[in-house]
Structure 1
Amino acid sequence: MNESKPSLLLVDGMALLFRAYFATAMSGQFMINSKGIPTNGVYGFVKHFLTAVSSFNPTHVAVCWDMGSKTFRTEMFDGYKANRPEAPIELVPQFGLVKEVVEAFDVPNIGLEGYEADDCIGTIARKASQDAEVLILTGDQDILQLLDDNISVILLQKGYGNYLVHTTETFYEEKGITPKQMIDLKAFMGDTSDNYPGVKGIGEKTALKLLQQFEHIEGVLENLEQLTKGQRAKIEQDLEMLHLSRQLAEIKCDVPVECPLDLAQFTMNREKVIEKFTEIEFRGLHRFLDFKKEYA
């Protein structure tokens, strides 16, 4: 990382909160405080958040959130994410609480109705990467399409402090395609977690081969006669869904949100954070605050 350049850590808040919640909810550890509020998701979120800040030492930090399940994608395709269950009842009160905790760190919470956190992350990352090194912290591989010269993606692995850091180079080494081609890859493959089908019968292996050979969807469609009979029939049958899936897969990078760097400077006030921890009845998190001795 370029030391003289500012570095902005963009956190996918939902990815961290859900991961933390489910890691403990399975065994019923909801950590209900004296006010009757479950706090397990927020507690784990803070651990993930502070471990990453300590590991990557960014100068600036912001957290992005989904703002409800209705977005421009659900308007385009009724089935989009329709397979996802309602949020568990113990998690619901933690959505507001986690944002209060982020505020206690003087870190901006960013989200916009009608768009997903990914779209906010993409928009801010593109703009900020002109002046800063951008690091995106998430558990979601979809965000790899945003990789660029000054944009890296930190994928959370099992446990705390285990990361897989991707750059444009490592992505190409692993997949043999560019990050931008990942949008077309998902258009062919579909996405079971987001619940859109892509082209039925075309999996990752075939899709990667097609994109390595013909570069993008248009290239494949222009060269259908070179494909096997089976591949051609599948694509022709699902042509409309292929185009729709590409629109669903692409992260929008022109959403009306902004995060000026000066508002995202990470200058944690330790007392303010500890006060919030005490109010929520968090124990054992203070030690995670000691990585930056110069902060008040």
Structure 2
Amino acid sequence: MMTEEKPHILIIDGMALLFRSFFATSAMGHFFPNAAGVPTNGVQGFARHTMTAASVFKPTHMAVCWDMGAHTFRNDLYDGYKANRPAPPEELVPQFDMARDASALIGWKNYGEKGMEADDLIGSMIAHWDGKAEITVVSGDRDLLQLLRPGVNIALIKKGYSEYDIYTEDRFVEEYGITPLQYIDKKAFTGDTADGYPGVKGIGPKTALTLIKQYGSVDGVVAAIDELTPARRKRIEDGMDMLMLSRKLAEIHCDLEVEASLEEMPIPNYDDNVKQTLEQLGYSLVMRHANSLYVTN
């Protein structure tokens, strides 16, 4: 008897692709304003990335996950979380809503959870479909590597629209020498300068990996702290509070209630009506990209 093939869900980290697309083009002064003079460069880049990913990975279903506002539970845990990031450029601000609207117009299902990051929603979707679907996540965020497991690939976007640095669980373990979940413990020690939390001062990536490989986790290191060299012991003892807080900040929450069904995540048809609407909204680059990737229905 033939076994039924599992669905393949493509999950897009919408905000990551929007930001990457905006800065890649704005650096060259390209904003592609629409008829009302509103920039569209981030929206169009996001849509082109997403269309390309659907063409490359050939999923059976797809979803786009979004951050829903700048403030999340991590800001409540630590005032400095992402506090060092500058405010988004004024040319980007209107494109947040425009990107979600364009995504829905094209036929992609949008998901977002107030007070949580897209990472948490992506992690929860992976947990929800664990063992029941193959999953490919497209993002530019290496934090998502902690979500790797059998049946899950993380495709990190590179330069251009069709090059990806694809991680599987096996590749991660071979490259880092730890499990994907232990990546959280590594970040607890090293912190994350982009997200604005320091980890333990004086503990760099190599030392963090050494400690995790030997003791298994943050808790394992703390339990064996008397075995460490005096210098490492002092650094960790001095930074203990931030170590524990950094681990909470680094961990992607995978326990959100996911109200998603395969029926609401179909692969859309990029037909003439969609392309005409994209053209009318000033998204001509997206329309041409669709024409280059898909046969008109």
Q: TM-score range by the shorter chain?
A: over 0.9
Instruction: Return the alpha-carbon distance in structure 2 between the equivalents of residues 215 and 71 of structure 1.
Output: 29
1:284, CA displacement in angstroms? Answer: 4.0
Residue 213 of structure 2 aligns with which residue? 212
Please say which of residues 110-119 and 256-265 is displaced more in the overlay.
256-265
State whether residues 63 and 109 of structure 1, in contact with CA within 8 Å, keep that contact through their aligned partners in structure 2.
yes
State whether residues 185 and 211 of structure 1, in contact with CA within 8 Å, keep that contact through their aligned partners in structure 2.
yes
Residue 142 of structure 1 aligns with which residue? 143
State whether residues 124 and 257 of structure 1, in contact with CA within 8 Å, keep that contact through their aligned partners in structure 2.
yes
Residue 202 of structure 2 aligns with which residue? 201
Residue 286 of structure 2 aligns with which residue? 285
Residue 24 of structure 1 aligns with which residue? 25
Please say which of residues 158-167 and 273-282 is displaced more in the overlay.
273-282
1:73, CA displacement in angstroms? Answer: 0.5
Regions of 4+ moved over 2 Å? 282-293
Please say which of residues 89-98 and 137-146 is displaced more in the overlay.
89-98
Paired residues for 1:98-177 under 5 Å: 98-177=99-178
Give the structure-1-normalised TM-score: 0.95
Query: What runs of 5+ residues in structure 2 fail to find an aligned partner?
Result: none
1:138, CA displacement in angstroms? Answer: 0.4
Instruction: Return the alpha-carbon distance in structure 1 between the equivalents of residues 118 and 215 of structure 2.
Output: 31
Q: Identity of counterpart residues, as a percentage? A: 47
Residue 278 of structure 2: SS of its match in structure 1? helix
Output one character per residue of 1:102-146: Cα deviation in whole Å (capped at 9) or x when no partner: 112221111111000000111011112331101111000000000
Closer, same or farther: CA 130–79 of 1 in aligned 2, 3 Å: same
1:273, CA displacement in angstroms? Answer: 2.2
Instruction: Return the alpha-carbon distance in structure 2 between the equivalents of residues 272 and 149 of structure 1.
Output: 39
Look up the equivalent residue of 1:206 and give its one-letter code.
Answer: T
1:205, CA displacement in angstroms? Answer: 0.3
Closer, same or farther: CA 288–3 of 1 in aligned 2, 3 Å: farther
Please say which of residues 274-283 and 160-169 is displaced more in the overlay.
274-283
Instruction: Return the alpha-carbon distance in structure 1 between the equivalents of residues 125 and 280 of structure 2.
Output: 32
Residue 244 of structure 1 aligns with which residue? 245
State whether residues 112 and 257 of structure 1, in contact with CA within 8 Å, keep that contact through their aligned partners in structure 2.
no
State whether residues 124 and 258 of structure 1, in contact with CA within 8 Å, keep that contact through their aligned partners in structure 2.
no
Instruction: Return the alpha-carbon distance in structure 2 between the equivalents of residues 77 and 172 of structure 1.
Output: 30
State whether residues 154 and 165 of structure 1, in contact with CA within 8 Å, keep that contact through their aligned partners in structure 2.
yes
Residue 113 of structure 1: SS of its match in structure 2? coil
Residue 274 of structure 1 aligns with which residue? 275
Give the structure-2-normalised TM-score: 0.95
1:256 aligns with 2:257: yes
Instruction: Return the alpha-carbon distance in structure 2 between the equivalents of residues 231 and 185 of structure 1.
Output: 15
Q: CA RMSD in A?
A: 1.6
Residue 46 of structure 1 aligns with which residue? 47
Closer, same or farther: CA 125–276 of 1 in aligned 2, 3 Å: farther
Paired residues for 1:9-20 under 5 Å: 9-20=10-21
Query: What runs of 5+ residues in structure 1 fail to find an aligned partner?
Result: none
Give the total of aligned pairs. 294
1:260, CA displacement in angstroms? Answer: 1.3
1:34, CA displacement in angstroms? Answer: 1.3
Output one character per residue of 1:212-232: Cα deviation in whole Å (capped at 9) or x when no partner: 111111111121122111111
Instruction: Return the alpha-carbon distance in structure 1 between the equivalents of residues 5 and 258 of structure 2.
Output: 26
1:90 aligns with 2:96: no
Output one character per residue of 1:19-58: Cα deviation in whole Å (capped at 9) or x when no partner: 0000011121111111111101111111111111111011
Instruction: Return the alpha-carbon distance in structure 2 between the equivalents of residues 258 and 205 of structure 1.
Output: 40
Instruction: Return the alpha-carbon distance in structure 2 between the equivalents of residues 227 and 178 of structure 1.
Output: 22
